[in-house]
Amino acid sequence: MTSNGQTELETVRKALPAELAPRIISARQREDRWTLVVDGEGLDAPARERMEAQLHSALAPGGGDPAPAIAFMGERVRRRIIAIGSGKGGVGKSTVTANLAVALKRAGVKVGVIDADIYGPSQPILLKSEDLKPEAEGETLQPVRGVADIPMLSMGHLVAKGRALAWRGPMAGRALAQLFEANWGDTELLLVDLPPGTGDVQITMLQKFKPDGAVIVSTPQDLALADAARAGSLFDQGEVPILGLVENMAGYVCPHCGEASDPFGSGGVERAAGRLDLPFLGRIPLSHSVRESSDAGDPVALGDTPEAQAFHAIARQIAVAEGLAKA
């Protein structure tokens, strides 16, 4: 009991706005320091931060008292799933996924990666986890840790290297389910590297593990753009909001003479985004360092080069769109 006869729980609840008060599960005060257990179900990261700030100012207003210790219970954040798709192969979708994961991680997001490109898994190389094998607890896989300590799973971790995966339909669906139903722990955002095109895996994913959003990667060529638009309509039909388009391999700066050229054209994806009424998230240059670092399992986004900054700028937009960072 506090000095005026209220229980500690009542004291705390009274100090809070009416909508937050019922979320306090228990409250205890010892030597001026409050310890609170809070129901965090359904609160996203910014909402939790706001609530923490409100609790601080309500319970330790002058700054003289120690800040309350706050434990959130329950589902802190509903895990968000963002699919990274492309209309055709080879446009750099996997490279973009790996680098966005690193950039999101560096921005403080608890990010994980599912390599759903079960026919040609490349994330184990890109995120340097080729030699790791996921352990299973019963039926549930434990993700391995790739570069930057990113939890990840890929069919590349589960089948012998180089073995072609010619699975179709139900088998592909089951393989995918194993990856999604793994123990993702406190991961708040899962990036899913989809196979190119609009086949079985995409359909299974839309039906069973519907993403919260999709990012479409394209090169600036007309052909790639037409395919990207098709990938877009797949997500539209599945009622998955498209967060935007990324232009990859845009503009090449010769490392020797510094001359800039546009082997695949330029600005095409931004114009296509305008036509399709979709956000344009940014462009990644065609660059030796992107390819070399990918091959080495050392994504450029770990550094601060202009290429890295291009990935960081796109990652920031995704984090904001998903409520995991402030605008």
Asked whether residue 92 is marked as a ligand-binding residue, the answer is yes
Asked whether residue 88 is marked as a ligand-binding residue, the answer is yes
**Binding characters for ligand ATP, 186-225, by CB under 6 A (x = yes):** ----------x-----------------------------
Note every long-range contact of 201-206, with CB atoms under 8 Å and residues 24 or more positions apart, other chains counting: 201/116, 201/117, 201/118, 201/172, 201/173, 201/176, 202/85, 202/234, 204/172, 204/173, 204/176, 204/177, 205/83, 205/116, 205/176, 206/234, 206/235, 206/238, 206/240
Token representation of residue 218: 């394209």
Sole binder of ligand ATP in the list 36, 100, 104, 117 (CB under 6 A): 117
Q: Which stretch binds ligand ATP (CB under 6 A): 82-90, 153-161, 230-238, 316-324?
A: 82-90
Q: Which stretch binds ligand ATP (CB under 6 A): 59-67, 84-92, 128-136, 137-145?
A: 84-92
* Distance, C-alpha 309 to centroid of its chain: 17
Taking the complex as a whole, the smallest distance from the CB of residue 137 to ligand ATP amounts, in Å, to 30
Footprint (CB under 6 A) of ligand ATP, residues 272-291: 284, 286-287, 290-291
Taking the complex as a whole, the smallest distance from the CB of residue 283 to ligand ATP amounts, in Å, to 9
Contact between 129 and ligand ATP by CB under 6 A: the answer reads no
Nearer to ligand ATP, 310 or 324 (CB): 310
Contact between 114 and ligand ATP by CB under 6 A: the answer reads no
Give the whole-angstrom CA distance, residue 194 versus residue 26: 44
Taking the complex as a whole, the smallest distance from the CB of residue 278 to ligand ATP amounts, in Å, to 19
Asked whether residue 93 is marked as a ligand-binding residue, the answer is yes
Give the whole-angstrom CA distance, residue 85 versus residue 171: 21
* Distance, C-alpha 251 to centroid of its chain: 26
171-181 CB burial, b ≥16 within 10 A, e <16: ebbebbebbbe
Token representation of residue 265: 């054209």
* Distance, C-alpha 93 to centroid of its chain: 14
Contact between 227 and ligand ATP by CB under 6 A: the answer reads no
Nearer to ligand ATP, 117 or 322 (CB): 117
Give the whole-angstrom CA distance, residue 97 versus residue 93: 6
Contact assessment for residue 286 and residue 249, using Cβ atoms and an 8 Å cutoff: yes
Per the annotation, binding residues are 87-94
Per the annotation, binding residues for ATP are 87-94
Binding region for ligand ATP (CB under 6 A): 86, 89-95, 117, 120, 122, 196, 248-249, 284, 286-287, 290-291, 294
